[in-house]
Structure 1
Amino acid sequence: SDHLLGEGGYGAVYVALDHSSQPAKRVAAKRLSLRDLRPDQVAREVSTYHWVQSASTSCEYVLRLLADAVEKDEAHYLFFPLCEQGDVLDYSVSRGGLTEPEARPLFAQMCTAVAYLHSLGVVHRDIKLENFFLTDVSDVRLGDMGLASFAPVADGAAAAPVGAGAPLICLDWAGSESYAAPEVWAMTHGSAQAKAAGYDAPPADVWSLGVCLFTMLANFMPVDVAIPQADWRYDLLLQCERSGSSY
């Protein structure tokens, strides 16, 4: 289909038709350019979906990968159920922000999706409103696993439940600027010691969830970048944390 749903740095998402069902169903086709991505980057996203979907439990708020296919050496396609209502950011902005009663059930589903991934040993690492999709205005799906990581385990062993307190240390910057936690920014702006130590990824996902909630309610981002001396709003947050005051 020529109907473009969205476009990013490494590909685009289109509406496609699944002719394996009768009548044919509309699905979302994510086209990843193999000219812009390394094969291991594509494989990581596909393997993360397979890992999550092979679990003995499931979560309705995590988007399911229906199939994937390679187009010669040019592109890798991932097929997902079509979320007709777009993403949560567009929905929230279109309403000038959400009221607490409107945001509460959506945010509960968002938290459930992230907690489920953590229980499987998976960290998303790019939690943002643009990656939560709506099948209708009250039903959320978390997608885009392109930056996800999961705890390496032996064949047949269970993943470490990172959300239960087990750390999953990452050493690279990942995510989207205004959603990234301070410890993630330390990978590019911190000391050599901080960079060598890495950061615990599950709490960084939780920080990003907090940014999502703030943005849904306030209709603007709480900070541009969570770097001291680089964003006055972040510096104000640090002052409030140290003093116990609030604004």
Structure 2
Amino acid sequence: MSKVIKLSPSQRGAEKLCQLMGYQFGKTIGNGTYSKVCVAIDSKGKKKACKIINKKYAGDDFIEKFLPRELQIISNIKHQNIVTVHKIIQLKYEVYIFMDYCKHGDLLEYIKLKGPFTEEKAKVLFKQIVEAVHYLHDLDIAHRDIKCENVFLKGQNHVKLGDFGFARYCRNKFGAFLLSNTFCGSAAYAAPEILRGQFYDPKMYDIWALGCVLYVVMTASMPFDDSNIKRMVKEQISKQIYHLTTLWECSNNLKQLEVALLEPDILNRITIEQVLKHPWFGEEPQRFPKVQRLW
């Protein structure tokens, strides 16, 4: 469990903050609407990533709902394939979240640089993402923003899922399962029920997003074009993905898993338990060329 520290207004200020925490801040490695991520060196000389959230620029919905959820969740999870949060410091107008520094960047950056993965490498890394999501779902937590940009490479063969800004618990205090109606994440990774504006099962949203990640890993392209949402939904519902995967030079088990993840009917969509037990992960490695971009 990460340590949460609340400081009084008199302790604000970059220099006092650095001294108090024992950190030296380095270059900015990411920017958001009301946050940024910097490299931070701790007192032992080890690199951490620090997400700095500026509450002055954030809306009331974020301050009152999303931020408290994020802080509660990241303070109470620990898994080898989830970015570890080491310390959280809350000020009146800012929140500092110190976490693992993943020197190889995010999965999308890596794929843009290296191209699509071989099936063997995809299996190793994708299983780690699945194990992270299985851990979350077992705790009744849905991530709701799974995408390649939120999967980080700690090492060449070690990935970690991060950015829990849209994460939420899936049950209320009475144990009743909660559906979501908030549009979260990126349209390119959104399931058809979300794009249609329906109440949705947040865990099933994660499953669909996993299917998009697997597709990108294998092809270095997105399964659906989000420039026209109406057309995108039609392609999702028509199971266009089945025809696309027939062009892949890979094992039949991988094709079957991809189709099962991107199943438009949530009653038939595969669960995270079924994904983890899928025969693709257990079969002997087969040598296939990398799947080429399909468009």
Q: Identify the TM-score tier after normalising by the shorter chain.
A: 0.7 to 0.9
Q: Does 1:36 align with 2:68?
A: no
- Indicate the SS of the match to 1:145: coil
Q: Does 1:17 align with 2:41?
A: yes
2:208 counterpart residue number: 207
Q: Which residues of structure 1 form unaligned runs of 5+?
A: 54-58, 161-165, 188-193
Task: Check the 8 A contact 2:191/2:205 in 1, yes or no.
Answer: yes
Residue 239 of structure 1 deviates from its aligned partner by 3.2
Structure whose CA Rg is larger:
2
Q: Which residues of structure 2 form unaligned runs of 5+?
A: 1-24, 247-295
CA distance in 1, matches of 2:167, 2:81: 16
CA distance in 2, matches of 1:147, 1:124: 6
Task: Check the 8 A contact 1:62/1:141 in 2, yes or no.
Answer: yes
The 1:144–1:245 alpha-carbon spacing in structure 2 relative to 1, beyond 3 Å, is closer
1:163 counterpart residue number: none
CA distance in 1, matches of 2:228, 2:39: 38
1:124 counterpart residue number: 143
The 1:2–1:121 alpha-carbon spacing in structure 2 relative to 1, beyond 3 Å, is same
Task: Check the 8 A contact 1:32/1:42 in 2, yes or no.
Answer: no
Residue 168 of structure 1 deviates from its aligned partner by 3.8
CA distance in 1, matches of 2:164, 2:75: 11
Residue 153 of structure 1 deviates from its aligned partner by 4.8
Query: Matched residues, percent identical?
Result: 31
Provide the aligned length of Structure 1 versus Structure 2: 217
Deviations 1:59-97 (A, max 9, x none): 2111121111134x3321101011111111111111122
The 1:239–1:139 alpha-carbon spacing in structure 2 relative to 1, beyond 3 Å, is same
Letter in 1 for 2:83: L
The 1:2–1:17 alpha-carbon spacing in structure 2 relative to 1, beyond 3 Å, is closer
Deviations 1:151-186 (A, max 9, x none): 3454xx9xx6xxxxx954101111111011111112
Task: Check the 8 A contact 1:168/1:202 in 2, yes or no.
Answer: no
Q: TM-score, normalised by structure 1?
A: 0.79
**Farther off after superposition, 217-226 or 130-139:** 217-226
Alignment of 1:1-247 (within 5 A): 1-19=25-43, 23-37=44-58, 38-40=62-64, 41-53=66-78, 59-71=79-91, 73-154=92-173, 168-187=178-197, 194=198, 198-225=199-226, 229-231=230-232, 235-240=234-239
Deviations 1:201-242 (A, max 9, x none): 1111000000001011111111133987433xx53453346x
**Farther off after superposition, 33-42 or 216-225:** 33-42
Residue 150 of structure 1 deviates from its aligned partner by 0.3
Task: Check the 8 A contact 1:97/1:217 in 2, yes or no.
Answer: yes
Task: Check the 8 A contact 1:52/1:120 in 2, yes or no.
Answer: no
The 1:240–1:29 alpha-carbon spacing in structure 2 relative to 1, beyond 3 Å, is closer
CA distance in 1, matches of 2:177, 2:183: 17
Task: Check the 8 A contact 1:169/1:201 in 2, yes or no.
Answer: yes
Letter in 1 for 2:222: M
Superposition RMSD on alpha carbons, in Å? 2.4
Task: Check the 8 A contact 1:167/1:202 in 2, yes or no.
Answer: no
- Indicate the SS of the match to 2:210: helix
Task: Check the 8 A contact 2:26/2:41 in 1, yes or no.
Answer: no
- Indicate the SS of the match to 1:223: coil
**Farther off after superposition, 79-88 or 38-47:** 38-47
